[in-house]
Amino acid sequence: MAAKLGSLHYVLDHIYGAFMHRTKMTPQFFSRGWGGKQLEMLERMFDQLFPEAAGQNWPPILVRPTWKTVWESKGACLREGVFRTPCDEQLLSALPPESHSARVAFLVPKSVPPQKMACVVHLAGTGDHSFERRLRLGGPLLKENIATMVLESPFYGKRRPMLQRGAKLLCVSDLLLLGKATIEEARSLLHWLDSEEGFGKMGVCGLSMGGVHAAMVGSLHPTPVATLPFLSPHSATVAFCEGILQHATAWEALRKDLAVMTLEEVRERMRNVLSLTDVTRFPIPKNPNAVIFVSATDDGYIPKHSVLELKKAWPGSEVRWVTGGHVSSFLLHNDEFRKAIKDGLDRLQWKESPL
């Protein structure tokens, strides 16, 4: 019975993927090609994130969002903030103008000093254009004195370029640009939560693509943070060269842009580019015991071997398996994601012991 149920979850992922990515109802990823010189610049930037440069460029630019209160109750407050992305001028010039201003939502318990609270930065998965889903994930954690900060990704939501439809990025370079800018913004937000707000513990989490970015941010942070990648591969190569998203990729447009004859040459170039997103090449986080991967047993997007590569690369980390596929786990296992957030934070020392 369990095997049949697992097969059903796997098949549901492929049915959903076929509907979303193999019909003419939606565009394909990278329909405008590789991105030319912009891709070459981003490849150099990502090389600088790897172990030999991991301790450099800290602290990041300190962001100070401009806030407005969305609502508040006796026990909690939700604010939304805007800040200029802290990316350097080279990266800023590569970003579309719509992505120059970043937006965050900040859900915080009231009447609790920050030193007695934890805060987790939630990063967006593919297609997550709004704050709502991640706020619903973080909301029940208020009773545990865990605040939720939700970052709107570049290229998503109000930061989406005018010509982009949905989550289908126009160029391969956009994928690296989205990732690099998200990493810089998340690091700056963690720095703000620590140095300006004084939170006692911090973490970073994300689902799918957001989990890859969360792993990178947690890896590069100079002090221990809870690092919580959910339903995440070890590299974007898995999603676009092995998983369902390969059927959503404009391979013919990429072949023409690369001026090569065979599809295999295009795929090899894609594998080389996306190897820059391989989390196993990043440093082991400062407290690997506070790294918890939550993965699905029958994920049609993320194969098990990819998850196990993460576990092997970061000794001391933990993998938790939930029964389901990528889509069903995304919908049904929020309680398991919340438990991982709480457990990861519990494995950290308080920055300052609560009174």
What domains sit in the chain, N to C, each tagged with a CATH number?
2-346 (3.40.50.1820)
Beta strand segments in the chain, E:
66-72, 76-84, 101-109, 118-123, 146-151, 201-207, 226-230, 292-296, 318-322
Q: What is the arithmetic mean of pLDDT over 322-329?
A: 88
What is the pLDDT, as a whole number, of residue 328?
86
What is the pLDDT, as a whole number, of residue 352?
61
Q: How far is CA 279 from CA 146, 195, 310, in A?
A: 27, 27, 7
Which two structure tokens, joined as six digits, stand for 42?
């981003």
Tens of pLDDT along 85-134?
A: 999 899 999 999 999 999 999 999 998 899 999 999 999 998 889 999 99
Higher pLDDT, 44 or 286: 286
Q: What is the arithmetic mean of pLDDT over 156-180?
A: 95
What is the pLDDT, as a whole number, of residue 106?
98
* Cβ proximity of 247 and 19 under 8 Å: no
Q: What is the arithmetic mean of pLDDT over 182-193?
A: 96
Higher pLDDT, 16 or 121: 121
Average pLDDT taken over every residue of the chain: 89
- The C-alpha torsion from 178 through 183 and 186 to 192, rounded to 10°, is -130
What is the pLDDT, as a whole number, of residue 209?
94
Q: How far is CA 332 from CA 81, 288, 338, in A?
A: 30, 27, 12
pLDDT surpassing 90 at residue 327: no
Predicted model pTM: 0.91
Q: Provide the 8-state DSSP code for 283.
A: P
The answer to which of 106-120, 137-151, 284-298, 323-337 has the lowest mean pLDDT is 323-337
Q: What is the arithmetic mean of pLDDT over 225-245?
A: 92
**Residue 280 C-beta-side C-alpha neighbours within 13 Å:** 18
pLDDT surpassing 70 at residue 50: no
What is the pLDDT, as a whole number, of residue 4?
47
Higher pLDDT, 93 or 327: 93
Confidence band for 53, pLDDT divided at 50, 70 and 90: very low
Confidence band for 154, pLDDT divided at 50, 70 and 90: very high
Higher pLDDT, 289 or 44: 289
Element (DSSP H or E) covering residue 345: helix 334-346
- The percent of residues above 70 in pLDDT, for the chain, comes to 89
